[in-house]
């Protein structure tokens, strides 16, 4: 695994958590909608509650998954943070933290750090090269 792949893991996990949260919102919306169809035909009185119970069960399962993913994200960010702290330059550390822990865009990082995009990319390549060396030491 390259340094960039290693550092990007947190962003992808964060995106999966966000996706699951959106799924919960959709299921909550579905569970809270109350519709009844009036017909002259007899029907099971438990049908509507069964659909709601299924939605609630799915919500509970997704919430458990999200909690597990959040725990994994916290651990992963702690691990990534320790790798970033091993980079000898505070300038490169800041760049890596902004990109891979705060998930900021390149444009925002360039503005915050006062660098041109070209210089920022150059620093990023340098930081990734150092991280690659650190990760190879660990394995």
The whole-number pLDDT of residue 118 equals: 97
* Pairwise CA distance, residues 116 & 107, whole Å: 9
* Pairwise CA distance, residues 116 & 62, whole Å: 42
Q: What is the pLDDT of residues 46-100, one digit of tens each?
A: 555 567 777 788 889 999 999 999 999 999 999 999 999 999 999 999 999 999 9
* Residue 42 pLDDT exceeds 90: no
The whole-number pLDDT of residue 68 equals: 96
Domain range annotation of the chain: 3-138
pTM exceeds 0.85 for this model: no
The whole-number pLDDT of residue 38 equals: 55
What DSSP state is assigned to residue 102?
S
């Amino acid at each position: 695994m390259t340094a960039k792949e290693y550092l990007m893991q947190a962003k992808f996990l964060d995106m999966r958590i966000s996706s699951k949260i959106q799924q919960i919102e959709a299921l909550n919306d579905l569970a809270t909608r109350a519709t009844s169809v009036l017909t002259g035909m007899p029907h099971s009185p438990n049908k509507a509650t069964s659909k709601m119970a299924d939605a609630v069960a799915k919500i509970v399962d997704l919430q458990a998954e999200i909690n597990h993913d959040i725990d994994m994200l916290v651990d992963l960010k702690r691990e990534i943070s320790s790798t970033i702290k091993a980079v000898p330059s505070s300038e490169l550390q800041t760049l890596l933290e902004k990109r891979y822990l705060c998930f900021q865009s390149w444009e925002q990082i360039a503005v915050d750090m006062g660098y041109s995009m070209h210089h920022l990319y150059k620093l990023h390549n340098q930081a990734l090269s150092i991280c690659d060396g650190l990760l190879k030491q660990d394995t």
